[in-house]
Amino acid sequence: MEDDTKHFSMCAVFGVTSHVLLVERGMDEIHDVFDFFCPGIFTHQLPLAVDAVRKEIHAQFPEAGTHLQENPIPSGADALDAWVVNVKEKFPDGFTLRRKIIPPKTDAG
């Protein structure tokens, strides 16, 4: 039986919810978040699942969504680095998410 919860870094969660790749492991870490909610999802299906996964993350951690709305991710490397440092200070432990299986859509409809 698989675990019902899993810990993810702040950068992985904000990477999924913001559409900005913030993680050290790149797409592997992003795919881990999607696979937790949509087991067996293929990379080409990620865009079809992103809204549902983001909604579930924000339902579990509304403060993450609020923070992103109040502090949008800036452009430019220096500003982005400062933003990441600030968010790591606010959410130093990342997020432990509860599994809720979200069936991936097969098309945009």
With left for phi above 0 and alpha for psi between -120 and 50, is residue 62 left, alpha or beta? alpha
Domain boundaries of the chain, sorted by first residue? 5-98
User: Residue 32's closest CA among 80, 95, 106?
Assistant: 95
Q: What is the pTM of this model?
A: 0.85
Alpha-carbon gap, residue 100 to 42, rounded angstroms? 18
Averaged pLDDT score across all residues of the chain: 89
The pLDDT score that the predictor gives to residue 104 is 67
pLDDT tens-digit series, residues 24-46: 788 899 999 999 999 999 989 99
Coil/strand/helix, residue 41:
coil
pLDDT tens-digit series, residues 83-97: 999 998 999 999 999
pLDDT at 20 over 90: no
